[in-house]
Amino acid sequence: MAVPKRRKSKSKRDSRRATHSISARAFNECEKCGAPKEAHRVCNACGWYKDRYVLAVTEVEV
């Protein structure tokens, strides 16, 4: 079994982990109503996805 001969420095460890950060979600514009929506997801405002209605959206009274 392979075992490291020397201990990795904190610099080497941290530079390897530099790409592990979490990025913010990317939002696109709905092509039907213009509301912001996530890519490859149904629009929460109008229920539209890929040239058809998928979800029946009802208005919520506050």
pLDDT for res 52: 87
Domain ranges across the chain: 25-62
Residue-level pLDDT at 60: 64
Residue 8 CB-half CA count within 13 A: 10
Rounded-to-integer distance, Cα 41 and Cα 38, Å: 6
Residues 18, 11 contacting (CB under 8 angstroms): no
Mean pLDDT across the stretch 9-31? 93
For 24-50, how does the pLDDT look when each residue is reduced to its tens digit (9 = 90+)?
Answer: 999 999 988 999 999 999 998 888 898
42 by Cβ neighbours in 10 Å (0-12 / 13-18 / 19+) ranks as middle
Model pLDDT, residue 61: 65
**Cα 18–chain centre separation:** 19
Spatial distance between the Cα atoms of 43 and 51, rounded to a whole number of angstroms: 12
